[in-house]
Structure 1
Amino acid sequence: MDVLRVPGALSSRLPGRLGESASGPVVSLVRLHGVISPHPAPVPRSVLNAANLEKVLERAFAPAGLSAVALLVNSPGGSPTQSALIGDRIRALAAERDVPVLAFCEDVAASGGYWLACAADEIYAHPTSIVGSIGVISQGFGLDGLIERFGIERRLYTAGGSKSRLDPFQPEKTEDVTWLRGLQDQLHTQFADWVRERRGDRLKPGDTELFDGEVWLGRRALELGLVDGLGTARAVLAERFPDAEARPVESRRPLLARLGVGSPAAGASAGWAQDALSAVEIRSAWARFGL
């Protein structure tokens, strides 16, 4: 495996700490690590959404001497709406401050993770990074046979014929699947349009495989135009902004959490089962890419 060396000009500044005074230009580093979901994280900082990133992004674009913002992306994807909200917020702040945004794909920038990367003006990947998955997926379980086996009767009452679509305790209906695929097609079109808007003529012309949900390693992603180059944040930023202080910007943990207060009670709360299920779903999202 090739190791990209860090020129001394930047290595002496990495990692910087938020709050340090800057005597010159600054590059803000924003780590976008986790599954993209509107739900609270069962494990601290394991979930990305517009709410928990709002203050982080505002602080990242705030320094007076800001030269650029670097997004360190490591995400298997998740909610399309949250992906779009985060991406739109990044673009709005970049336009407001008139600074370039660079994205660096780490282990995986797939599905919603690649959506986030496309919020940048330039995208870089490591040769081993997993990139792409421009598609839409829905998943669930059919439990109607299970409850029948145990003699459980399902009772469901609705006002409106569409309220019980895709109920996991009822047999799957063809019309429900058709409806779901219609939604998926609309979301897929919006995803592809976002990629085309952000990547423009850098995409390999006429290559329909870009939008079939496939993933590629960094070198192939470069050939397809999904990324602009291969390299790490340290190496690329050192070359592009040799005089800048690279400054990580992270979310601030609540005071009680920093003091170690409240954790045992949270573990014993009535929501432990939901937290456990969320943790399994998060692990499953990473496992799809062998991580």
Structure 2
Amino acid sequence: MEFLTEYGLFLAKMITFVVAAVIIVSLIVSATHKERGEDEDDGELHIRKLNEKYSNLRETIQARLMSEQERKTWNKAKKKKDKAEKKSAKAKKSDAKDPAESPKRIYVLDFDGDIKASDTDPLRRAISAVLSVAEPGKDEVIIRLESGGGLVHSYGLASAQLDRIRSKGIHLTACVDKVAASGGYMMACVADRIIASPFAVLGSIGVVAQLPNFHRLLKKNNVDFEVLTAGEHKRTMTIFGENTDKGRQKFLEDLDDTHGLFKDYVSERRPELDIAAVANGDIWFGRRALDVKLIDEIKTSDEFLIEACDRGDVISVSFKRKRTLPEKLGLATSTALEHTVWKVLSAFRNQKIQ
């Protein structure tokens, strides 16, 4: 027991030392990175042809279901077919003079939204890249969208990025597998067509604001808090000061105005909607959302993409920013801690209590 105690103390000291060292290095590197400033090109585009991905999945399972002799024969025929297709594609490319003869391209973008719509910057860069090569009236864009909404101005900008695609005359489809609510639906409604899985959450066309108020607590402890403003409506609600009925009324008017803008935005892009019936802040699951015309079709994104592979080249485009050292260290630490916690919880769950 004495040995275990000493070993535990030593281990605790080592962990403390390592954590402290990581924090110090992270702060130094972070400060250096801020001095250099954010590089506009500090990242790269990732491009992947999804036709090959789905084709490989199909061929893999086909090969596993064959006998060894059948597999050999199949592999031989496949190599011969691939060689002929490459030769044919090369010949067509060299002979093609009319851009219309080039294959149809379907570009796939992804957006995974948090409350600040932090994915907007990578999205705008990916959109800029796609718009530089996409052919209006021929090519398409698909966005796989997941978001429960967040800040009005953040999702307003994210939606405006998608509006760039439609304004160029390029067909846009939004695929929702889990949720596109509030700001997420603001983005989805930009699309020419919305496709959602059977139990995806959609709607929540409303505006909400909430904040705590500590005025009574401060007053009870004889603490004064003053807010000095120039302009009648510069600060209508406050966390620490005393809120007035006049201030609340102005705040509610601002919320109603924002809600009105939200409804107008959705109505302009989906005129078939009965906006009065759906813009009450409620949500609908996939099939119910189809009934009220919040979406156009029930289907998962995988199903839709596999079908799209028959129409042309399906290409995933994403912009990945290079992670700084503090971010890499933080991610590694977070992953290690999460792994440890899950192992401990699993161990407790698997124990039999006597």
The question of a shared fold, defined as TM-score above 0.5 by the shorter chain, is answered with yes
Tell me the equivalent position of 2:182: 111
Higher relative contact order (CA 8 A, sep 6+): 1
Tell me the equivalent position of 1:271: none
1:33 Cα offset (Å): 0.7
Tell me the equivalent position of 1:34: 113
1:54/1:36 Cα in 2 relative to 1: closer, same or farther (>3 Å)?
Answer: farther
Tell me the equivalent position of 2:258: 187
Cα distance in 2 between the residues matched to 1:123 and 1:67: 17
Contact 2:122 2:318 in 1 (8 A): no
- The aligned runs of 1:90-109 (5 Å cut-off) are 90-96=162-168, 98-109=169-180
Tell me the equivalent position of 2:241: 170
Cα distance in 2 between the residues matched to 1:246 and 1:120: 18
Tell me the equivalent position of 2:313: 245
Q: Deviations over 1:163-196 (max 9, x none)?
A: 3321111222111111111111111111111211
Q: Root-mean-square deviation (CA), in Å?
A: 2.8
1:243/1:161 Cα in 2 relative to 1: closer, same or farther (>3 Å)?
Answer: closer
Runs of 4+ in 1 over 4 A off after TM superposition: 264-267
Q: Deviations over 1:120-177 (max 9, x none)?
A: 1000111110000001111111111222344432133333343332111122211111
Cα distance in 2 between the residues matched to 1:233 and 1:75: 15
List alignment gaps of at least 5 residues for structure 2.
1-50, 58-92, 94-101, 332-354
Aligned residues: 236
Tell me the equivalent position of 1:288: none
Confirm whether residue 141 of structure 1 aligns to residue 212 of structure 2.
Answer: yes
Q: Select which of 155, 178, 203 maps to 1:83.
A: 155
Q: Which structure features the higher share of helix residues?
A: 2
Q: Percent identity?
A: 26
Tell me the equivalent position of 2:55: 12
Contact 1:10 1:246 in 2 (8 A): no
Secondary structure at the counterpart of residue 271 of structure 2 = helix
TM-score, structure 2 normalization: 0.60
1:264 Cα offset (Å): 7.3
Contact 2:180 2:202 in 1 (8 A): yes
TM-score, structure 1 normalization: 0.72
List alignment gaps of at least 5 residues for structure 1.
1-7, 15-21, 38-45, 268-291
Contact 1:11 1:234 in 2 (8 A): no
1:242 Cα offset (Å): 1.1
